[in-house]
Chain A
Amino acid sequence: MAEYRTHMKIIGDILSTTRDDLQDEDGATVTYLIRKANVSHSRISRILQTLVSQGLLEKVDSQGSNKYKISQTGRDFLQAYKTFSGFANNFGLVI
């Protein structure tokens, strides 16, 4: 059975991919993120737009295509997300 993921969990997965699992140093393409984070194109486009506007991701123009890299704010957010995700799990909850 497919596991239900909250919006926050999807954001966490995208940020984790851009931090730990990059294709190259320029960043990750949308197609790569769709495959790794398992999110539809329309949904990930909206999420990426939000994450860039919040300063969690940096959009890089690399050889004519857009790539995404995690920013320092994104790293801090991801660390906080992982810490408080564990905290909520102690209460049997997901954030």
Chain B
Amino acid sequence: MEFLLENILNLVGFLVGLSIGVVSAIGFRNTGSPTLFRLAIAFFSISAGFGVIWVGYTLEDFVIKSGSLERWVQTLGIAIQTIGYFFIAFSHSIKSLFPKSRYFRSVGVFPLFLVSSVHIEHIFRSVSFILLAYGAIETIMSYFENRNKGAISVATGLSLLALGEFLGWYSFVFPESILYVSSMIIKISGLIALFIPVSKVPMTKIKLDDNFD
């Protein structure tokens, strides 16, 4: 069950990330917008992160069968995804990573202190959670400004991914529990919610222009 869900999650993550990345890259190519460039980097990273885990797990289970590779593949994949989440948050504001508030800094140190002796993977998960939560809050704030319904879907997607990361990170406290499976189901739902507004972008009339930079 867990293996199947992980494969579904990684495949959906790879495809959704790739789709949004391609749309962003086409947008950047056509408009030269740095925002779309950052979104393209973000979603290509997210796609690559899921892809690395998917390919790694498949190779490990069917070809290599060493029994020790999965943890490193998972850590590498999550690290690459975290780079993607960073660029989403960075697009909203770099302030999220250099907070001046003393309160925010104390909150930021807490999860890192908790997990420092456990595994590097959990550090990436906690960073991803913070970046995703920030992205979700900024997106929902933008909805209140321009009432764009697509923003609700994206904010829901980012929130679900954040919750999934949190549960995935917290499952080390209760290993072999339902937390990890729940985390994967929630993350799959989040990825689908992210894809909904992107699927409505009319790409048929957009053409690449090689002369415009």
| A, B assembled together | yes
> Which A residues form the contact surface with B (CB < 8 A)?
8, 54-55, 73, 76-77, 79-81, 83-84, 86-95
Taking CB atoms, residues of chain B closer than 8 Å to A93 are 35, 39, 91-92, 142
Find out whether the CB atom of B209 lies under 8 angstroms from the CB atom of A76: yes
A73-B212, A77-B212, A87-B201 known; A92+B35 contact, CB < 8 A: no
Dominant secondary structure at the A interface: helix
Q: What number of B residues sit within 8 Å (CB to CB) of A?
A: 36
A94 nearest CB across to chain B (Å): 7
Taking CB atoms, residues of chain A closer than 8 Å to B88 are 91
Dominant secondary structure at the B interface: helix
Subset of 29 A-B contacts with CB under 8 Å: A73-B211, A73-B212, A76-B207, A77-B31, A77-B212, A81-B31, A83-B27, A84-B27, A84-B31, A84-B36, A86-B150, A88-B33, A88-B39, A89-B142, A90-B153, A90-B197, A91-B39, A91-B88, A91-B91, A92-B135, A92-B139, A92-B140, A92-B151, A93-B35, A93-B39, A93-B91, A93-B142, A95-B27, A95-B31
A80-B27, A83-B201 known; A90+B148 contact, CB < 8 A: yes
> Which B residues form the contact surface with A (CB < 8 A)?
23-24, 27, 30-31, 33, 35-36, 39, 88, 91-92, 135, 138-143, 146, 148, 150-151, 153-155, 197-198, 201-202, 205-207, 209, 211-212
Taking CB atoms, residues of chain A closer than 8 Å to B27 are 80, 83-84, 87-88, 95
